[in-house]
Amino acid sequence: MSSNMEVDMHNPAFDSRDSGAHTDWRLRLALAGTALAVVVVVLGAFTRLADAGLGCPDWPGCYGHLTWPDEHHEIETANAAFPHAPVETDKTWPEMVHRYFAGALLLLVGGLTVLAWRRRGHRAFKQTHFLLALILLQAAFGMWTVTLKLWPQVVTAHLLGGMATLSMLWLMVERLRNAPPSKGRFIPAHEYRLLQKIRPLAFAATGAVVLQIALGGWTSSNYAALACADFPTCHGEWWPQTDFRQGFNIAQQIGPNYLGGTLESDARTAIHVAHRLGALLVSILVLALAAFAWRAGSHRWAAGLAGVLLLQVSLGIANVVMFLPLPIAVAHNAGAAVLLLGLLTFCYRIQTAQPRVSNRDGIPEKPGVDNTALAGTL
């Protein structure tokens, strides 16, 4: 019996089933982690835009509480302990809820890392460890956001770290969906050739979106979103007076408190104008990519990318003309995440797709293969 068991354990079908079971658990955790990361990113945007980043002057607790002070006697005690930062209950709970969800994400990625150690040869082994290190770094940025009083460099880095965490989790989902024993992605040979030609453009568009997200974080952390209150002009001019040197002085000293911003008007205008120029560059690249993708036959991807871009640009304009309403500002941040994930997915599927042999070449097509590699919604 033991020899038969040993033979069974080394049977390729047994290994395939075992690998599939492990991949299924990783996939479920990665999907849950992605959903949780979306919540963390949106809550982070809400906290930042509601000026609640310093809602709790200490870290990791809030005025010495595991939750936040809400009873009258607790608020009195907190105000006595932190006289420089009196309790504002409408700002304490967003900060702490954001921390709770970020902590839950850390635990979930820790679980993914434990599973990765059970199969060290798996493709996600290094990725889970890097992801865990990134989230720990994010926790440090969260602490520095409080202790350094919303220093723009830290706030912007914290935003980029959140987007990077979300992106890595989503790419892990993509990799696990196509891990053995699942089928590969095969597309018609002519479509494959056309998509390979636009691969540099896809990567360039993705890089531009990352840069634009960084500019958006810099705009928000320096309170420059309303530096131009009109559109498409700024202060009634196509090129207003600006101070780019001061606006993008990333070597500025750490000040006592950045709540409300410390830059002069011309510096904030420079940041806002740069963000608009970045939006123009992203629009050109993404629309060009959508046009070439449509020509290659990836119609749903082309329409999806163009649609998300149009929505994102509309939200950005609405933020200006409507004086930054909180729901629209938060939706603008979420839209940036959706656009980034869409581009990353498109790049990944171009990178991993394989040409499907056509009958026109006299060779039969591979049976049972998913021929819609680039189909699907964003």
Q: pLDDT digit string (tens) for 35-72?
A: 999 999 999 999 999 999 999 999 999 999 999 999 99
Indicate whether 122 pLDDT > 70: no
Predicted confidence (pLDDT) per residue in 8-30, tens digit: 333 433 344 445 555 677 788 89
Mean pLDDT score across all residues of the chain: 86
Q: pLDDT band for position 367 (50/70/90)?
A: very low
Q: Which residues contact 99 (CB under 8 A, 6 or more apart)?
A: 60, 142
CB 139 within 8 A of CB 109: no
Predicted confidence (pLDDT) per residue in 295-331, tens digit: 999 999 999 999 999 999 999 999 999 999 999 999 9
DSSP state string for 306-332: HHHHHHHHHHHHHHHHTT--HHHHHHH
Q: Which residue has the tokens 């000293």?
A: 253
Task: State the virtual CA torsion across 363, 367, 373, 378 in degrees, nearest 10.
Answer: 160
Q: How far is CA 182 from CA 65, 112, 174, 368, in A?
A: 48, 20, 12, 11
- Secondary element (H or E) of residue 265: helix 265-296
pLDDT for the residue numbered 62: 94
Q: And the tokens for 28? A: 């479920």
> φ, ψ for residue 19 (rounded to 5)?
-60, -40
Indicate whether 292 pLDDT > 90: yes
Most confident listed range (20-29, 120-129, 151-160): 151-160
pTM above 0.75, yes or no: yes
DSSP type of residue 229 = -
Q: pLDDT band for position 271 (50/70/90)?
A: very high
Instruction: Please give the positions annotated as active site.
Output: 95
> φ, ψ for residue 355 (rounded to 5)?
-70, 135
